[in-house]
Amino acid sequence: MDAAEPDARRVRAARAGILVLFVGMGLMLGTHVSRVPSVRDALGVTPAQLGALFIAGSIGGLIAFSLLGGLVARLGSLLLLRLASVAVVVGFGGMALAAHLGSPAVFGAAMFVTLGSFETVNALANAEAATVERMVGRSIMSQFHAAFALALLAGVGIGALYSGAGVAVPVHYLVNVGVVGLAFLACARLAILDGAPAAADSAERAGGIFVTLRVAARERRTLALGLIIFCAFTIEMSANNWLPLTLVDDFGRTEALAALLYAALVVAQSAVRVVGGRLIDRLGRVRILRGSAVLVAAGVLLIALAPGFWAVPIALLLWGAGAALGYPLAISAAADERTNATARVAAVAAFGTIAGLTMPQAIGLLAEGLGLRLSLLLVVAVAGAMLLLAPAARPLPAPATGVEEGEGAADTLEA
C-alpha cells in the first residue's frame, strides 16, 4: 500500500461507515415507496399527475449528477456529504409538509430537493465504496448494494407497520428520515477517507464545474459504462414497476401473493450480490455481465411466454439473479481511474436516472397494444444490449496487484 494511503484499520472503518450510508439510503427509499398510495390520496392527484411530480424529482437528480464532479473538486466530498445529508432531510420534510397541506406544487419542489440530495449521497457513497474496494484488493461493491436492497425491503416493511397502525405520512417521513440523516452526519467523517477539496492546480479543478458532463461526453468507455447502467437500471425498474401488476392481471394472483413473489426476486438479487464479489474476482467483469444478461433474458422470456403459473417462480429467481451485479459492477469500473473518479461515477449513475425517466413509460405504452406480458420483451432487448456492451467494463491496465490485476487476467482470456 502506498505510504500516503490509509492503513488497513482506517479502511475497515471507512467500509463500515459506507455500509451505514447504503443502509440508510435503502431505508429512506423504502420509507417513500411504502407510502406512495397514501401520498397520492393526501395530494388528491391522479397516477399520471403523481408521475409528473416524480419527474420533477428525477430532474433534480440529473442536475445533481451533472454538478457533482465539480462540487467535489471545490468543496470536498466530506463537506458535500454533510450538506447533502441535511438537504435530504429538509427535502423529506418538505414532502411531509406537502402531504399535510395537500399541495402538489410543494410536493414537486420538495421532490426536486430530495432526489437531488439523495443522488448526491448515492454517488459519493458509490465513489468512496470503489476506493475502499481498490484498497481491500477484491470485489466488494456488490455487498454494499445487497445491503441497500435488504434495507429497502426493511423500509417497506416498516412502512407497512406504520400504515397499519394509522401513523400519518408526515410523522412517518420525519421520524425515519430524521434518524437516517443523523446517522449520515455521525458517520460522514468515518466513511470519507479523504474529503478535502482538490488543489487549485489539479486535474479535477481544471475540468470545471461541469466536469461530469465532460467525461460522459468525451470518454467512450465512460459512455459505454453509462449505457450498461442504463440497461441494468431498466432491468431492475421493470421488475419494480410492472412485475406485481403482471402477476395480478395476467396470472390472476392476489396482490398479497404478488408482493410476496416480488420480495423473493429481491432476496435472490440480494443473495447474489452478497456472494457476487467472489464470482467477479474468479470470472472477471465481462463474463459476469454477459452471464447476468443471459439470466435476465431467460427469466423475462419465461414471464412473457410461460404457458402457466408454474414457471413464474423460476422466472423471478432468474430475473433477480441476473439483475444483481450489473449496476455495482459498472460503478466499480467507472472508478478504475482515480483522477475524476467521482465525476465518472456520477456520470454513469446519471444514466440510471435517465432510464427511470423513460423505460417504465416505454413499457407502459407498449402494454397498451401488446399487453403487459409481451411488452416485457423489451427487457430482453435491453439485456442483449448489456451483453454487447460488457467489454467496456474490462479493468484498465494497472501495475498494482489485487482485484484489478486478477480481473484483468480473467477478462483478457475472453478478449
pLDDT digits (tens, 9 = 90+) for 219-254: 888 899 999 999 999 998 888 777 877 887 888 877
| Average pLDDT along the chain | 84
**Which of 133, 293, 188 lies closest to 301 in space, CA to CA?**
293
Name the burial class of residue 162, with classes exposed (0-12), middle (13-18) and buried (19+) by CB atoms within 10 angstroms of its CB. buried
Output the CA–CA distances (angstroms, integers) from residue 273 to 30, 136, 356, 365, 406, in the order listed.
19, 17, 21, 32, 19
Q: Which of 345, 294, 349 is nearest to 323 (CA)?
A: 294
Which residue has cell 401520498? 39
In the chain, the largest separation of any two C-alpha atoms, in whole Å, equals 64
For the chain, give the percent of residues with pLDDT over 90. Answer: 39
Report pLDDT for 306.
81
Instruction: Identify whether the C-beta of residue 209 lies closer than 8 Å to the C-beta of residue 67.
Output: yes
d(CA 143, CA 124): 16
pLDDT confidence band for 204 (50 / 70 / 90): low
Tell the residue number behind the cell numbers 435491453, with chain if given. Answer: 382
pLDDT (mean) for 352-373: 82
SS3 label, residue 65: helix
Secondary structure letter of residue 371 according to DSSP: -
Which three cell numbers, joined as nine digits, stand for 1?
500500500
Q: How many residues does the chain have?
A: 415
- The grid coordinates listed for 49 are 399527475
Whether the CB-CB separation of 222 and 334 falls below 8 Å is answered with yes
Amino acid 211: pLDDT = 63
Model-level pTM? 0.80
How confident is the model at residue 415, as a pLDDT? 39
Q: Which of 46-55, 151-160, 243-252, 288-297 has the highest mean pLDDT?
A: 288-297
Confidence class for position 412, pLDDT limits 50, 70, 90? very low
* Residue 239, all three cell numbers: 421488475
Q: Is the pLDDT of residue 207 over 80?
A: no
For residues 229 and 149, give the distance between their C-alpha atoms in angstroms, rounded to a whole number. Answer: 17
Q: Give Cα 179 to chain centroid, integer Å.
A: 21
> Which has the minimum average pLDDT: 35-44, 151-160, 400-409?
400-409
Q: What is the mean pLDDT of residues 177-201?
A: 86
**Helix, strand, coil share (%) of the chain residues, nearest 5:** 85, 0, 15
Report, as an integer, the average pLDDT of 80-94: 95
Cell of 344: 465518472
DSSP one-letter string for 250-281: TT---HHHHHHHHHHHHHHHHHHHHHHHHHHH
**Which domains occur in the chain, in start order?**
12-193 (1.20.1250.20), 219-415 (1.20.1250.20)
Residue written as grid cell 471545490: 74
How many angstroms separate the CA atoms of 158 and 123, rounded?
26
Residue 334 pLDDT level (bands cut at 50, 70, 90): confident
Confidence of residue 114 (pLDDT cuts 50, 70, 90): very high
Contact (Cβ atoms closer than 8 angstroms) between residue 390 and residue 293: yes
Confidence of residue 205 (pLDDT cuts 50, 70, 90): low
Three cell numbers written together for 342:
467521482
